[in-house]
Amino acid sequence: MIFFGLVVGLIGSTMGYVLTAWLGTAGKLESALIAGCAVTVVVFILMLVKPSPVPAKKVSRYASIFFSLYLPAVGLAAIWGGSDFYSLLPYLFWYYPLLAYSKFNNTGKVGAFLERVMIGGPIILLLVYASAYPERLEPDLLGIIWAAGVSHTAYVILLDRLAGYREALADARARAEEIRRSAHTLKQNESRFLQVMHEAGIGLGMIDPHGRVAWANETVTGWTGRESIISLPFAELVPGRHRQSWQTQVRLLEAGDIPRIRFECIVESQNGPRVIESNFFLPLPAGTLPDGIIFVCRDITDVRELDAQLRQSQKMDALGRLTGGIAHDFNNLLTVMLGSAEALRYRFEHSTEERELAEIIEEAGERGARLVRHLLTFSQKQMLRPQSISASGLVKSSILLLKPGLPESVELHTDLEDGEWQILVDPGQFEAALLNLTVNARDAMPSGGRISIKVSLLDAETGDTGSVKGDRVVVSVSDTGEGMPPEQLARVFEPFFTTKPADKGTGLGLSIVYGFVRQSGGDVQIQSIVGAGTEVMMIFPRHSGDV
């Protein structure tokens, strides 16, 4: 708009100079001022279009100042040259576009000052003309002058109103644009929030005042195993054994008696039973009409499993220390008893009855000593002679000892992956542990089945096998037997715990395996499904080098 206004000024001043020169109606001073105006406008245009242009706002201000001085000057020159009133009119008319130009391009205090100068300019010219040539003021001319003054005043008022409307329109458009941008930003933020909400690893949702699910993310929906839970009563999603307790706490929450609900329950999801911890709270203070109850849930199954593993490990360590202490003291007593029995046997070498009694005592002492050795194995205090040896090679050599003890109804299958993976163990104790696991697997299948022995390698990036880090060699023994329920599975490594009849086992087999593997720097894990079988995994750190 600034450039267009300058072009109009250039055209007007050029045409004015040509016409006045052709008609001879202007004096020398007036013609010089018109020519100077044209040159000045060219300078302003060059300031806008040169390679490093002056800011348009600054050029506009310079142009407005120039024209507000130029028009009175050229008008006074015309009056001084003796021109009639009609020769003065073009300069008066130029105030109209100049006012419009300045009104819409100059703001602030400078713009207001220039506007006052331009409003007063025509009035001053008319007063000067009337003072200079009173004899020319005929009635018709006075009417024209008054009409020009009124027209000028009306134009100023109209222009001011139009400028006000324009500013209001510009403000409205700016507000509309701001609202549009805010709405766009809000929509983007809402979209991001919904994406985060649905992709979050925790469950988020809201229950409406009627107890129905108002909204919930995909995590919550996934736990329920349903395609959608929107509009369903939330109480239906709470397991039956927890439902009454949850409903009681919700009433207390809505009444403002408690600030929030922390609730934990077990749900049957698509991936099996999961332990879900939920927090419920009101988005508004209690006593007002709430939009609903916000709930935040998270799956803490893994946390609970880790807690259980920690408690199991602490329990086994405590049992190991207790068992080791008892075995140590008991071993001292057995040493005295065995030494005394041997002395009695030699003393009564020729007395059959006394010698037999001494042999009975000695045999009982030996059985007690074997039991002590088993207990020391569990408490990880036995003497080991570890060697760096191939796990697959150990299993192959042990199978020769295992097969004779298996009935024809039990099939033995081995899966020994290629690779001589070394482990640091006592070979004799390893064979004894493998024999214990195989015997347990056999006894779990009284009607026959299949025992599988597998050796595999897990690298440092694969799986989580408890306390053993880095590359691990896993020797597993699995069966297709009866399996065990969770309450029995939690106690299988305890000394003297057994599910077998009293004449079938002592309950020390798995305890010995546990103690040997832990003393060898490894870990033991067991998993079992009732009716499907059991798998026991001995996990050893992979060893490299000789001992």
Interior/surface letters 504-533, b for 16+ CB within 10 angstroms, e for the rest? ebebbbbbbbbbbbbbbbbbbbbebeeeeb
Instruction: Verify that 114 and 14 share a domain, yes or no.
Output: yes
- For 284, the 3-state DSSP assignment is coil
Q: Are residues 311 and 285 in the same domain?
A: no
pLDDT band at 138 (very low <50, low <70, confident <90, very high): low
> Based on the domain organization, do 332 and 465 belong to the same domain?
no
Residue 295 inside a domain? The answer is yes
Residue 345, judged by CB atoms within 10 A of its CB (0-12, 13-18, 19+), counts as: middle
Residue 348 is assigned to a structural domain of this protein: yes
Q: Give the residue numbers spanning the domain of 223.
A: 203-299
Q: For the residues 260-284, what does the mean pLDDT come to?
A: 78
Q: Are residues 260 and 233 in the same domain?
A: yes
In a domain, 195, yes or no: no
106-107-108-113 Cα dihedral, nearest 10 degrees: 40
d(CA 443, CA 479): 10
Average pLDDT, the chain: 76
Q: Within its chain, how far is the Cα of 202 from the centroid?
A: 10
pLDDT of residue 321: 62
**How remote is the C-alpha of 239 from its chain's centroid?**
29
Cα–Cα distances in Å, from 248 out to 235, 254, 285? Answer: 11, 10, 19
- The neighbouring-strand residues paired with 410 are 449
Instruction: Say yes or no: 518 and 496 in one domain.
Output: yes
Look at the block and give the residue holding tokens 């009433």: 251
Q: Identify the band that residue 535 occupies on the pLDDT scale cut at 50, 70 and 90.
A: very high
State which of 77-91, 241-255, 282-296, 348-362 shows the largest mean pLDDT.
Answer: 241-255
Q: Per the domain annotation, does 21 fall within a domain? A: yes
CATH code of 278's domain: 3.30.450.20
265 in the same domain as 314: no
Class of residue 301 by CB neighbours under 10 A (exposed 0-12, middle 13-18, buried 19+): middle
- Give the rounded distance of the alpha carbon of 379 from its chain centre: 45
In degrees rounded to 5, what are phi and psi of residue 106? -115, 130
The count of structural domains within the chain is: 4
CATH at 451: 3.30.565.10
Same domain, yes or no: 344 and 454: no
pTM to 2 decimal places: 0.43
Residue 418 lies inside a defined structural domain of this protein: yes
Q: Decide if pLDDT at 91 tops 70.
A: no
Asked whether the predicted pLDDT for residue 538 surpasses 80, the reply is yes
Average pLDDT over residues 125-129: 74
User: Are both 397 and 523 inside the same structural domain?
Assistant: yes
* C-alpha closest to that of 402 among 389, 412, 394: 412
Structure tokens at 501: 């009849």
Spatial separation of the C-alpha atoms in residues 507 and 498, rounded to whole Å: 4
